[in-house]
Amino acid sequence: MISPAQKLEYLAGYDQAIQTQHGGAYLREHGLYSSQIAEWRKLRDAGVLEGKQPGQTVGKPTKEQAEIARLKRQLQERDRDLETTQTALDIMGKAHALLEQISKSADSQDTKRNNR
């Protein structure tokens, strides 16, 4: 049986892994399923993993807690999208610089040929 503290550790580790797009690998490495992560997130967001005693009734998250959890997930998705976009822009900038360098090199080669 996995303790609440371990579940929180797994959630934190998984959240870090999905930032680098290695979530699936993290799940396989630890023998976990995405359905477990989804359930543990609900429990975490409801505060169950951080203080409810065994045997206490577990309530559904309030509307506010559910909205906060939804917004946190949405923010994580946006952060991943932003990181992907930034990486793509970096690559495009490097490709542009390389093409300029090749173009200048070709121009200097043409100038040398024309001066002969």
pTM of the model: 0.47
Average of per-residue pLDDT across 86-114: 89
CB 14 within 8 A of CB 38: no
Per-residue pLDDT tens digits for 28-42 = 999 999 999 999 888
The first and second tokens of residue 62, run together, are 């309030």
pLDDT(60) > 80: no
